[in-house]
Structure 1
């Protein structure tokens, strides 16, 4: 069992970096959830590769993996929808100029 990824880890990092430059945290929050779901799914796969102590243990890991896979698909679709709604350049993964607002640096002087 594997996850079907719409976005690679590199693409998620690019989206995070682009959004971090500007006051646009929503794509970053969704991207972080996708990354966490991938980690949870991989953990469950590792657990399922070990000899189970009992049938219930295997069922628990399988259930978590199944639901994680569903949540991952929903969150990836959500991220794709958000980027589309905001008008991101999907080839370069750049935020459109019209919604860019640079984060102002605090002057310590």
Structure 2
């Protein structure tokens, strides 16, 4: 069974890149955790199909991962809305970009 997703893997990558460029780590951290949860879920689903493995162990982990993933996707959706990111392009709003650049300039001065 696939993991329901609000964000594609490519969208998560875009968020991480945008957050890294403009030194706004928080949305990128959430996106990175979502990628990790997706990998954990894929791994557990694979393990659950192995006949020698106890499927209930892996299903328990996969179930918890699905719940965590849904919670973190909702969190990311909310954070992007609060910060005013463009949900279609996943670009950080210009005001935040400028704010980060100004902060860097002050630190370098």
- What TM-score does the superposition give when structure 2 sets the normalisation length? 0.87
Quote the offset at 1:104 in angstroms: 4.4
CA distance in 2, matches of 1:49, 1:25: 37
Aligned to 1:95: 92
Q: How does 1:73-88 map to 2 (within 5 A)?
A: 73-88=70-85
Unpaired segments of 5 or more residues in structure 1?
none
Aligned to 1:62: 59
1:50-80: per-residue Cα shift (whole Å, max 9, x none)? Answer: 1135xxx211111000000000000011001
CA distance in 2, matches of 1:49, 1:58: 7
Which structure exhibits the higher relative contact order, with contacts defined as CA atoms closer than 8 Å and separated by 6 or more residues? 1
User: Conserved in 1, the CA contact under 8 Å of 2:41 and 2:66?
Assistant: yes
Q: For this pair of structures, how many residues does the alignment match?
A: 104
Larger helix proportion of the pair: 2
Aligned to 1:71: 68
- What TM-score does the superposition give when structure 1 sets the normalisation length? 0.87
RMSD: 1.8
Quote the offset at 1:87 in angstroms: 0.2
Aligned to 2:8: 8
